[in-house]
Amino acid sequence: MKPKLQIALDVVSIKEAQDILSLNNLVDEVDIIEAGTVLLAAEGASAPRRLRETYPTKMLVADFKIADAVNTIGWMLFDAGANLITVIAAADLATVKIAGQLAKKYNQHIQIELYGRWDFDLAKEWFKGGVDHVIYHHSRDASQAWTVSDIEKIKGLIGIGFHVSVTGGLKPEDIEMFRGLEIFSFIVGRSLYEAKDPVEVARAFKQSIDASF
């Protein structure tokens, strides 16, 4: 399956998020809408609920980065219309397993955000616990580009069975590095919606995806 293009909306109001998506019909150029951590902090579960009401057919991510109270937070976000909810990699394994059970109940998915320290043994436990998505981060603050080491780690995660999304300072010209890998989505945020012409940038990403996959 061809990788999807995901827009991460780390803005401070649902109005700002909807204005971004509606400007020149940018929403038509992306496959997945993400209610980013900042937006969720500002608007709570009303953010995914409003996005679901406005865009009923779009895949929707709630990037809460849950570390605890997963039953309560997860229920609120799935009930609001999220298809995927993020849990931080530092969360206790028991929390991750509860998240996996909750996702199964809703017929939805949990994504583990691979911030900080993690290893493949732990990743295998997540997968056994019912989590089938991870997000691989390359720090946008890092000066170096994506590396062979990044690609090898992504291959390892795919080998476990995960659907892997990637993010972190991505540019359209970076996409070809991932050729041959079963990437679930490429996640872009401010570099897309703060661009002079967001639609043009989104189309450049889609063209790179089409050319590489």
Tokens of 155: 């291959």
Q: For residues 82 and 97, give the distance between their C-alpha atoms in angstroms, rounded to a whole number.
A: 19
pLDDT at site 142: 52
Q: Percentage of the chain surpassing pLDDT 70? A: 97
The mean pLDDT of 47-51, rounded to a whole number, is 98
Burial 48-81, CB ≥16 within 10 A → b, else e: bbbbbeebeebbbbbbbbbeeebeebbebbbebb
Domain count, the chain: 1
Check residue 143 and give its pLDDT: 54
At 93-142, the pLDDT tens digits run: 999 999 999 999 999 999 999 988 899 999 999 999 999 999 999 865 55
The secondary structure of the chain, three-state, reads CCCEEEEEECCCCHHHHHHHHHHHHHHHHCCEEEECHHHHHHHCCHHHHHHHHHCCCCEEEEEEEECCCHHHHHHHHHHCCCCEEEEECCCCHHHHHHHHHHHHHHCCEEEEECCCCCCHHHHHHHHHCCCCEEEEECCCCCCCCCCHHHHHHHHHHHHHCCEEEEECCCCHHHHHHHCCCCEEEEEECHHHHCCCCHHHHHHHHHHHHHHHC
> Residue range 178-206: average pLDDT?
97
Name the region of 5 (left: φ>0; alpha: ψ -120 to 50; beta: rest).
Answer: beta
Band (pLDDT 50/70/90 cuts) for residue 23 is very high
Q: pLDDT confidence of 145, banded at 50, 70, 90? A: confident
What does the pLDDT average to over 17-24?
A: 97
pTM: 0.96
CATH number at residue 135: 3.20.20.70
The answer to whether the Cα torsion of 125, 130, 132, 134 is positive or negative is negative
Please tell me which residue, 149 or 19, carries the higher pLDDT value: 19
| pLDDT (0 to 100) of residue 151 | 95
56 pLDDT band (50/70/90 cuts)?
very high
Q: Residue 144 — pLDDT band, cuts 50, 70, 90?
A: low
pLDDT at 195: 97
**Mean pLDDT over residues 157-180, rounded?**
96
In this structure, the chain runs to a length of 213
Domain residues for 40? 4-212
Give the chain's mean pLDDT. 96
Average pLDDT over residues 22-41: 98
Torsion angle in degrees (nearest 10) through CA of 67, 160, 211, 33: -20
* pLDDT value of position 115: 86
